[in-house]
Structure 1
Amino acid sequence: MHTMKRWNIDILLSEESEGEYTRTWAEVGLASDDGSSLRGHGMARKHPADEDVPEIGDELAVSRALADLSRQLRQVAAEDISEHTGTPWRP
């Protein structure tokens, strides 16, 4: 038996500039077929002395949001393992 599933991640980026400072926020969302969802968040700051390359802020903010989402998903898996086995999962 072969089963295939597709999980889609939604990424939302927002950038705010104030004077010489720029901040980029990212929110990533993962929704499952059972209606549960997780959201990860990340932020990047551009130092005033840095060259203005918006893609770098996007990349950093998204990578941090994905890391946050990954941590949450790992926690959900650990809780599911503990619930089904009766023993805590150790990463």
Structure 2
Amino acid sequence: MSTLVGWHVDVEFTEDGHRTSAAALVRLGDGSEVRARGYAMRHPSDPEQLRVGEEIAGARALMDIASQMLQKAHAEIDQASGHHSHPLNR
């Protein structure tokens, strides 16, 4: 029997001149939340492309969330097993 599980992900962006900020939030099935921020800076001589800044800032925020989730998962494995787990770096 399979069970459907989902996560809710929100990413919001703020543009301020040549700086883009992304605030990311993931709500996990256990009710916990993981939050992170990411930033991108456009060089003044580069053309204005808001979408590119959002993609970079958003990706950085989501990479931070991924790292936090791996740490959370390994802490849970360690607690349940009584052994130190070894995360794979991929």
**TM-score, scaled relative to structure 2:** 0.92
Q: Which amino acid aligns with 1:39?
A: R
Deviations 1:26-84 (A, max 9, x none): 01101124331110210000001111111110000000000000000000001000000
Asked if 1:56 is matched to 2:62, the reply is no
TM-score (normalizing by structure 1) = 0.91
Residues in 1 aligned to 2:28 and 2:6: alpha-carbon distance in whole angstroms: 9
Identity %: 34
Structure 1 runs of 4+ aligned residues shifted over 2 Å read 32-35
Higher strand share: 1
Partner of 1:42: 38
* 5+ long unaligned stretches in structure 1: none
Other structure's SS at 1:70 match = helix
CA contact (8 A) 2:5 2:29 kept: no
- The unaligned stretches of length 5 or more in structure 2 are none
Equivalent-residue separation in structure 2 for 1:6 and 1:34 (angstroms):
10
1:73 alignment partner in structure 2: 69
- Size of the aligned set, in residue pairs, is 87
Distance (whole Å) between structure 2 residues aligned to residue 75 and residue 38 of structure 1: 11
